[in-house]
Structure 1
């Protein structure tokens, strides 16, 4: 019997479906916002799609997270009639869904003109650029997320207020909490093994009902696959337990935001080892790692909307809540946006701490990796290392991060580096989608405005 993760070819994919006697399988693609869009597909249709691809309405690249249609993009829209876009099935993406009786899931990737906008395709493009320079990219993603004793129905009935976290109070790294809720933790760990996004560490973070999961390192595209699937199926698992998980950057002004930190390293494609590790240098930082770090630092303001993609993302980027506010770097310093982690030949890396949990894993990793690769290409040097509390220090103006999603979108549009690394079609389309997101936000009146202005002004 074939193991789902041993499926590598079209023939393997057909064989495992036949072995399991499945009449249908699940197929899915990821959209701009990192949301998995998919469907059940009959065996006959799936076998045909393995050979020839299949068509998926390109509206999934033309609407937002609430299925509202962009009115400011050229790729698709009412003016094109929302035609189908070709999608190739990725046989090697095969996973078993543990709670669906042997059901298999396969991921897809857009082809043709849509490939230039496809999040997974965008990351693959950056990985290919790294390969051309002689580097293999590796990454590990870690996510903080809050869990609630709520359902999709109850949160709407409550108007998203007075929500009940699964545990009260602040209690990070709690052995008490993970023992009381051992069955839930075991479900999470078992699912992560079955679906091949194995968790290296799972613990409570500081805040009511918040957990942190660190996913095991893998090659860059595989790491993004693991992160995207983890976010999707963690929400599924929670709802199957009459709970809800949220990956919002910040759901309450009273608690810290939720991060999506990205650990990145490069290895030499010729097999000669780490590109980042040089024991003759201070903190083992090689010349390549120094240039990579400089690129990440210099381009962070320009690529920010790929890392912080929602209006809500910017409520997290404030001093004192474990989220960086400037493009700073330090060695083992968690107050900076970039944390160099000195280690062995195998563990020397950079942690991109700016990342938030609401980011699309493919695009966040593409941005963090592309910035570093561009820095290597330009042989840039980083600014001075930050020691101590980065929040208490003054930084060069060019290191300041945009404060709103709109401003971040403008920086991406005007970025020569972004157009070089991601291509003009992606930059234009993605920046427009972030402008749309900000415009949708501006249509609404907040509770804060009502409370502040209704009677008194």
Structure 2
């Protein structure tokens, strides 16, 4: 019997076998919280093997605090009023990965069960995909991320107060063969890591800005694609810090450079035949009726679901004209100035790129919003508005296409959205909207450098 590989694991029996073959004393187990932050622990072998069949428990505070471990005071699911009890999780054998920096170590993802499942980001996407299957569709997806590399450490950026940081490379050199050749070992290491951890990178290149890279992750079934995107973000940061560098996926770290996107490519297939549901050679741009309805749903619900794709205060500094980020719920064919870019092609390649999302979004929530809104369009047989031709930034658009301009406003749109509640459930909408309101309140407690410079002396 051949030795099992991590990417071959599909069930608990195979998970047991690979752990035994490697003689591991401990295994890594992780899950993702509302902000897309990966949390977890090393678990002793006997406890892990028991958890494969029976699940395990984790303090539900991880669903009740923000990205700085500060406790929400406005959510119902958990808090001081519940005493922060444990919540059950199930281990997902099919998510098994090697952890190259740790020898034979294995990593498994977990997902919340019970009441916590209603607000679990991965569980939310899984339920949206269950809906797609119930409608007769399979969903494929791929994520693209831009991120900046810095010649800094976690300590040095704090010592500098996050000011005067040194990018890994200087100047604006998008698609630079010079940069990728001079620093080839950096690229090779990241590409190798991505292959080893099963989030393979189809394309890696410099973008416009000092030290910025863009990585296009390979296409997969949508839930697996979200796993790949989430793990890519975490372990790119791990890899960089182990090298004495830092990677950031902030939506925008400097007013001088474009923001960092998290674009989502999506396509549907007919579950019974595997044929493309988006491609119709007899229709304009190859867009089938189903793709047209899907895009219409995405367009219609974009203002209501924006908080799921732009979830931080910083996200909204990216959504300004002329910086490669959309400002209205627009669509076009092969148009990178619009929020939705239909990419014509063949039955294999026909798809839509959801360009609104920023790199700071939780991949599970961003994909749930992008897919769920498209399914809504199919169910309601919605029709998109006229596609934008030319520069969307220079054209006037209907008022209802305008996107919320702040996180607070986006949270309010989500909270009152009947479509969001129908797609994702009341528990999730209430919880997530409250967490975004909390985030805005935390920001309002602080005084910015801009305010001090503008008002301290003169007012």
- For Structure 1 versus Structure 2, the TM-score category normalised by the shorter chain is over 0.9
Q: Tell me how far apart the structure 2 counterparts of residues 339 and 173 of structure 1 sit (CA, whole Å).
A: 21
Deviation at 1:181, TM superposition (A): 1.0
* Alignment partner, residue 398 of structure 1: 400
Q: Tell me how far apart the structure 1 counterparts of residues 216 and 251 of structure 2 sit (CA, whole Å).
A: 17
* Alignment partner, residue 293 of structure 2: 291
The 5 Å alignment of 1:128-139 reads 128-139=130-141
The 5 Å alignment of 1:66-145 reads 66-145=68-147
The 5 Å alignment of 1:256-271 reads 256-271=258-273
* Alignment partner, residue 46 of structure 1: 48
Q: Deviations over 1:400-444 (max 9, x none)?
A: 000000000000010011001100000000000000000000000
Q: Deviations over 1:233-288 (max 9, x none)?
A: 00000000000000000000000000000000000001150000000000000000
* Alignment partner, residue 21 of structure 1: 23
* Alignment partner, residue 367 of structure 2: 365
Equivalent of 1:202 in 190, 201, 204: 204
Q: Tell me how far apart the structure 1 counterparts of residues 318 and 11 of structure 2 sit (CA, whole Å).
A: 43
* Alignment partner, residue 441 of structure 1: 443
Q: Tell me how far apart the structure 1 counterparts of residues 9 and 344 of structure 2 sit (CA, whole Å).
A: 36
Q: Deviations over 1:64-90 (max 9, x none)?
A: 000000000000000000000000000
SS in structure 2 of the partner of residue 108 of structure 1: strand
Q: Tell me how far apart the structure 1 counterparts of residues 424 and 300 of structure 2 sit (CA, whole Å).
A: 17
The 5 Å alignment of 1:266-285 reads 266-285=268-287
The 5 Å alignment of 1:331-350 reads 331-350=333-352
* Alignment partner, residue 190 of structure 1: 192
Deviation at 1:180, TM superposition (A): 1.1
Deviation at 1:164, TM superposition (A): 0.3
Equivalenced residue count is 457
Query: After the TM superposition, which parts of structure 1 deviate over 4 Å for at least 4 consecutive aligned residues?
Result: none
* Alignment partner, residue 151 of structure 1: 153
Alpha carbon RMSD of aligned pairs, Å? 0.5
Q: Tell me how far apart the structure 1 counterparts of residues 139 and 9 of structure 2 sit (CA, whole Å).
A: 23
Compute the TM-score of the two structures, normalised by the length of structure 1. 1.00
Q: Which runs of 5+ in 1 are unaligned?
A: none
The 5 Å alignment of 1:291-310 reads 291-310=293-312
Deviation at 1:11, TM superposition (A): 0.8
Deviation at 1:292, TM superposition (A): 0.3
Quick one: structure 1 residues 272 and 182, their matched pair in 2 at CA, closer, same or farther if it must change by over 3 Å?
closer
* Alignment partner, residue 220 of structure 1: 222
Q: Tell me how far apart the structure 2 counterparts of residues 326 and 8 of structure 1 sit (CA, whole Å).
A: 42
Q: Deviations over 1:171-192 (max 9, x none)?
A: 0011110111111111100000
Equivalent of 1:431 in 430, 433, 438: 433
Q: Tell me how far apart the structure 2 counterparts of residues 188 and 366 of structure 1 sit (CA, whole Å).
A: 27
Q: Which runs of 5+ in 2 are unaligned?
A: none
Q: Tell me how far apart the structure 2 counterparts of residues 254 and 415 of structure 1 sit (CA, whole Å).
A: 35
Compute the TM-score of the two structures, normalised by the length of structure 2. 0.99
SS in structure 2 of the partner of residue 382 of structure 1: coil
